[in-house]
Structure 1
């Protein structure tokens, strides 16, 4: 019985090759898009899945308030938080602290014993970690014991990759690595373990861990700095809770713990709130200051999921449309089958088998397309998907569901329509398309092209916003600026260190292409939060405000082309004064109560973070964007530092770039011998903050184009079928004098009406969706009316081109051929 149904289905597909091919290609592309998006969504939601018991692990976050205003929300907190939570809360099984020195400092780790010469690498993915960290996270160890590997001071564990880089084929256990950083630390550590390279789907990316006990052994630091102090909030703290712990009840006890360990907060007008973030939620739902790496976006994942489902539905709509449109053509087949004894159930099974066969061919096609597209998809997403990703059980379950659900959804309605024809009416040739069926098909076409308009409009808006962010005046010029971090290997003698910086500046000034050199604590785009509490001396207004702090030397404003609005710049003409002087931005002047920037010049302020010695405001500069346009401009303040800058910025001319970089390299090695030369361009570095948005834009555009292609395939099939049904009418009109243009217009008119309806429906939908997306940006474009005009015009032109191709083909057909049977 089934074999007979299958043979009949094959014959039907073979008989209608054009429409069968359109269905298979359309469904295949739709399924391929859905599968690729499913790969992306699955990966984004799989972060930390490899960690056993991840549901019981939480990160402690910190919100800092001043005068009832949230001034800082950060992933870091105090060293004393972990021990306090373990002591105060019975549900805390263990805690682990991490100090992200790889991000904060310039760190070089060297195998001095390597031959023929030492092996040194600049380490950005480097952390100090408590001994409980490895057991808590359950990282797989290749060598060593996770429970004891970081228990002692001056011990280290490294990844498989770096074990091979540092030690080649040798066993690294027991070998020594030397850490040197720009805080003048110079510490040898014994390798006590090697861990398996971390997968991509983790927010904590590191290659080297030094024991946290190493920090505890630093005698020069303030008492309690790394052990149980509550004065520096620069540690990540993770806690493992006992299974079944009531997390909300535990969070309710955190304010009392803060009050106990920071009793002076209330008197200072400050408030600090600790919170618990589930480990699994960090990647998609956290966007705090001091994140260890750039996180993903829950909103992007939801958008992409919706697009994937949208495009799949468009493909299924195509099948339903073509199948029901061709119902009259297949009516006689149904009539004959019913006359010879076929019942409705048998006919439904027949048409469902046809749908299943088409969907099976589409599934195979989609799998082939996914394999071809995978390298390009990797480039779009920045994620490395391999062909082994397609062998996972969930992927094949998804394929099976696509085939099953697709067969039912796309085949059930057409099979019910076709099997319901009355044989007497059909065989008398009186069957016509029902009005309900026509309205359904028109509704489906409208849905398809409304989706296309939404996709086109969304693409235009996304790229306008990206272009706006990347070209908006930041308040400083960051183009043609190369940046280097200060050297990690430096003399511990202050005078010798300062001389090396002077040598670097002098060597750079000899390079004709170098037009500016400056040093600062931080640079635009760096996510580190240097914030200082600033109090205006003698003020009767607000006691203190929180200001983003930076340092600069004499050449900062000129190098970055900032504007001095009032007062003066730091200058060597005022020796001895600059140590107690600051320059502020316009918004800082306003925040401190001055209507005009010039009024603040000469004002004395107190800044506890800057040794609490009164500072005089000597100048005001324009506001500038320290971080991306997702955030509003923060008020800023600069202290003077000629030699204390952590970032060296060099403005260059771009002609003969390779030669200029070689000259800068030579200046670096002359001044800072033994330090690897590493640089980046500031504009590229700053724009990395938009990597998620750019990735989303590329994905959205790619899949929007594919969605439109699928919609056009359906429209192509419908227009071809409509033209074939009216071929005799066209022949008569041509004999009576109708031109090709007249016939093309006649056949295209009805479809264009549907497209116009789709545009009207799509406009408010596009506005709502994209306006929601834009609200994530503090600085954003407005959605102008022209976007909808452009999106509608593009959709109309695409539809017109698709329909006209078939209309023209029908219009130029010789009428003798179509009428000779009459």
Structure 2
């Protein structure tokens, strides 16, 4: 019976029913996509059942009580030392060599040719890593796979790439890097797939004990001292698992004493190390330290997307409530007749709730299909890699059920109460009138809808203004048309390598498309994470200042178009420059107390525990990393051959041809090294990935919110025009023009949207100003943002309303007054 009544109601009100379903479907689809985003971003490490008890050990280094390093990495000896504490049940260490060095791993036994890949996601791992971090193996023993030196665990994907259909267990791989390391390992385990929701992604793991066999300076114990016992070099990720119920703050309070007991006499008196514990599950969204394993997400963006999803869903539900209650006069007679026939109020409420349940169910099914179809596009703009299988996970299906129940109650209960509150006598006699309270509520809900739309559009404009400000900001050097190749993995440290580099230089110089070439230890967009301290020669230690270090050769300024403010650059004419000279930036000169760059030239610096070079030049300040971070003073030392990055300024519009020419020179000079390159402007701007994705998501959801709001407005304007048909007819008979009627009908919507704009402005300003204040270099929030957002919403809304108002204004009054 209920379904028959529902079907009859749908058939009778096709237009309004279609608007309800379309609006609800779009709103629910946006909400479900936002829920997928929030769930994925907050699910990092959830596959590990012990994740809640695992912590990463972070390191802060202070010199003269000033923090010079805040790192995700720690000392090799920290793990074993922490394991001695009763609260710690296990530890594991990771050495991220793929990030630090250029690594090539080769299957030399492959036929007909060796198979080699350059690896970034390559780690050395303690034998406890796999079980502690929640992994399982499809081949090999998880407890012993990384226990022995020179053993390796690889993903199933790379097992196929290296060995095809052969069984990889027991096969050998060779690792070579640009530090001249050369290691042969045996495959002992296969991981099916590394989850996308982990911050520790890898293609290949080598056993940590493999590092112990490394030797240097004829020291047979170098490897174990360097990688297991050292408190001097902080380049290991360290994770510990705690006993249930451990007081983390109390444990952290023990760590200063632990560090002091192991480092007494090793560090300068003015240096202090502080260890802290970071929850494993909090790393992805809340940790942005030096040496992170990957660029982490932003907790604020996740919250924003979640709130937007709720806003859009609210707009859709408000549409349903408004359109349903607006039809009160049409449904009142039906209710009156049913009451006269003996229907109880609870029966009528059940009927209207059932209608809402049916519409919500149908809308959810449509939304579910829309989400499945839109998922590839959503992945593109969000940067995620969600698979349709996510839509079948229990949490998502549970969310659908909750959405259906909540949507039914929120959208159906109030209209049901309104429609069942009429007195049957008044209905039958035709004396029923719209209540003032109901009209005010509908107008308030319309105001909320468009306040949300204006807020979202204005926020989107602010996000893109800030992004544009950072993208076009002056970073102090020219990174356009700069092609970069990383140092070869095979060859450095070997006899004749410097001569090979010169050959590569000369090959490029003879190429017309390459204007200039330089080598440096880092490039814009990649920070040398460790800072150092400097002072003027002879100054006391309280005059030490923190700076960044970078290297350059003789052509750095030519490639990057920096300005020499005073002195000279490094030159082949000064053969002692690599040992005796530095170039500093303008802010470094000011930090050292010089009022003019010229005053710094010729002065001697002291870099403790290293050397005392002379300042030979001062260059302009520049941003090594994005404008999301403050500018930092820098000192350059001269290094002609050991730079990790080879940068060249190119002048050709034929990008493919230019790359091929550089590739030919590379392969001629460095055979056996894969040629991998990037253009520096693209590389640098990758730092704004989160902001770009945030902007794209904001834009998409804002546009859909506006569409949903306009669908509701279209329905309301149609109903309002129909209710005022006789009034319009009388006005036209009395001489009102069509334009006057159109203005009359549109004025109400203009007032409502104007109120929406007025409410949105302070809300957006307060919330987005807090977001924009997190950037050290930022644009301002101007009135233009709100004018554009407000006018856009107003014009679109009037355009939507005009279909119905203009139709009503042009209606022949004879038709509307025929029954009078």
1:331 to 2:332 alignment: yes
Q: TM-score, normalised by structure 2?
A: 0.97
Equivalent residues in 2 for 1:30-429 (5 A)? 30-87=27-84, 89-220=85-216, 223=222, 224-264=225-265, 268-429=269-430
1:782 to 2:780 alignment: yes
* Alpha-carbon distance in structure 1 between the residues aligned to 2:788 and 2:402: 37
SS in 2 for 1:240: strand
Query: C-alpha displacement at 1:607, in angstroms?
Result: 1.6
Query: C-alpha displacement at 1:499, in angstroms?
Result: 0.5
Contact 1:63–1:272 (Cα < 8 Å) also in 2: yes
Query: C-alpha displacement at 1:9, in angstroms?
Result: 2.0
Deviations 1:254-294, CA, capped at 9 Å, x for gaps: 11112222235886322221111111111111111111111
Change (3 A) 1:740 1:264: farther
SS in 1 for 2:688: helix
1:801 to 2:796 alignment: no
Q: Which runs of 5+ in 1 are unaligned?
A: none
1:436 to 2:437 alignment: yes
Query: C-alpha displacement at 1:327, in angstroms?
Result: 1.2
* Matching residue within 674, 678, 681 for 1:680: 678
- Counterpart of 1:10 in structure 2 is 7
Contact 1:176–1:189 (Cα < 8 Å) also in 2: yes
* Larger CA deviation: 134-143 vs 73-82: 134-143
* Alpha-carbon distance in structure 1 between the residues aligned to 2:540 and 2:391: 67
- Counterpart of 1:586 in structure 2 is 586
Query: C-alpha displacement at 1:397, in angstroms?
Result: 1.2
* Alpha-carbon distance in structure 2 between the residues aligned to 1:577 and 1:517: 19
Q: Which runs of 5+ in 2 are unaligned?
A: none
Contact 1:530–1:550 (Cα < 8 Å) also in 2: no
Q: TM-score, normalised by structure 1?
A: 0.97
* Matching residue within 761, 764, 767 for 2:762: 764
Contact 1:511–1:660 (Cα < 8 Å) also in 2: no
SS in 2 for 1:626: coil
Contact 2:179–2:493 (Cα < 8 Å) also in 1: no
Query: C-alpha displacement at 1:595, in angstroms?
Result: 2.4
Deviations 1:295-340, CA, capped at 9 Å, x for gaps: 1111111101100011001100111111112212222222222222
* Larger CA deviation: 665-674 vs 323-332: 323-332
SS in 2 for 1:47: coil
Contact 1:259–1:265 (Cα < 8 Å) also in 2: no
Deviations 1:420-454, CA, capped at 9 Å, x for gaps: 11122222222221111111111111101110110
* Larger CA deviation: 146-155 vs 273-282: 146-155
SS in 2 for 1:346: helix
Contact 1:290–1:527 (Cα < 8 Å) also in 2: no
* Alpha-carbon distance in structure 2 between the residues aligned to 1:267 and 1:118: 49
Deviations 1:120-166, CA, capped at 9 Å, x for gaps: 10011111111221222231112222222222222222111111111
SS in 1 for 2:469: helix
Deviations 1:379-410, CA, capped at 9 Å, x for gaps: 11222222222111111111111111111111
- Counterpart of 1:550 in structure 2 is 550
* Alpha-carbon distance in structure 1 between the residues aligned to 2:379 and 2:699: 15
* Alpha-carbon distance in structure 1 between the residues aligned to 2:316 and 2:266: 60
Deviations 1:712-743, CA, capped at 9 Å, x for gaps: 11111111100000112112222333222111
Change (3 A) 1:608 1:209: farther
Change (3 A) 1:728 1:265: farther
* Alpha-carbon distance in structure 1 between the residues aligned to 2:146 and 2:347: 71
Contact 2:179–2:492 (Cα < 8 Å) also in 1: no
* Alpha-carbon distance in structure 2 between the residues aligned to 1:813 and 1:66: 82
- Count of aligned pairs between the two proteins: 815
* Alpha-carbon distance in structure 1 between the residues aligned to 2:132 and 2:792: 55
* Larger CA deviation: 382-391 vs 112-121: 382-391
Deviations 1:187-245, CA, capped at 9 Å, x for gaps: 21122222222021110011111121121111216752211111111111111222222
SS in 1 for 2:152: strand
* Alpha-carbon distance in structure 2 between the residues aligned to 1:604 and 1:435: 83
1:691 to 2:692 alignment: no
Deviations 1:627-672, CA, capped at 9 Å, x for gaps: 1111101111100001010100011124222111111001001111
**RMSD, matched Cα:** 1.5
Equivalent residues in 2 for 1:460-471 (5 A)? 460-471=461-472
Query: C-alpha displacement at 1:6, in angstroms?
Result: 2.4
* Alpha-carbon distance in structure 2 between the residues aligned to 1:404 and 1:141: 41
Contact 1:78–1:232 (Cα < 8 Å) also in 2: yes
* Alpha-carbon distance in structure 2 between the residues aligned to 1:56 and 1:551: 42
- Counterpart of 2:22 in structure 1 is 25
1:523 to 2:516 alignment: no
